[in-house]
Structure 1
Amino acid sequence: MAPRHEAFLGHVKERGEYEDLTEADRAARVVLALLGAHLVGDVRARLAACLPDEFALILLNPLQSAEPLSPERFVRATAAWIEGATERTATWDVSAVLSTVADAAGENLMGRILLQLPVGYDLLFGRPRPI
Structure 2
Amino acid sequence: MTLRWEAFLEEVRERGEYDSPQEAERAARVVLALLGAHLVGEVRAELAARLPETMALILLNPLQAAEPLNAERFVRATAAWIEGATEATALWDIGAVLSTVADAAGDDLMDQVLLQLPPGYALLFGRPTAGTRP
Quote the residue 1:115 is aligned against.
115
Quote the residue 1:33 is aligned against.
33
Q: Distance in 1 between matches of 2:82 and 2:49?
A: 26
Quote the offset at 1:128 in angstroms.
Answer: 1.3
- Equivalent residue letter for 1:81: W
- Equivalent residue letter for 1:108: D
SS at match of 2:39: coil
Could you tell me the TM-score, scaled by structure 2's length?
Answer: 0.96
Identity of aligned residues (%): 75
Quote the residue 1:84 is aligned against.
84
Quote the offset at 1:23 in angstroms.
Answer: 0.1
Quote the offset at 1:28 in angstroms.
Answer: 0.1
Quote the residue 2:21 is aligned against.
21
> What do you get for the CA RMSD once the two structures are aligned?
0.6
Quote the residue 2:5 is aligned against.
5
| 1:33-86: CA deviation from partner (whole Å, max 9, x where unpaired) | 000000000000000000000000000000000111010100000000000000
Quote the residue 1:51 is aligned against.
51
Q: Distance in 2 between matches of 1:15 and 1:74?
A: 20
Quote the offset at 1:2 in angstroms.
Answer: 1.2
| 1:2-22: CA deviation from partner (whole Å, max 9, x where unpaired) | 111000000100000000100
In the TM superposition, structure 1's runs of 4+ consecutive aligned residues that sit over 4 Å from their partners are none
Quote the offset at 1:127 in angstroms.
Answer: 1.0
Q: Distance in 1 between matches of 2:90 and 2:10?
A: 18
Aligned residues: 130
Q: Distance in 2 between matches of 1:67 and 1:15?
A: 29
- Equivalent residue letter for 2:113: I
* Structure 2 unaligned blocks of 5 or more: none
- Equivalent residue letter for 2:82: I
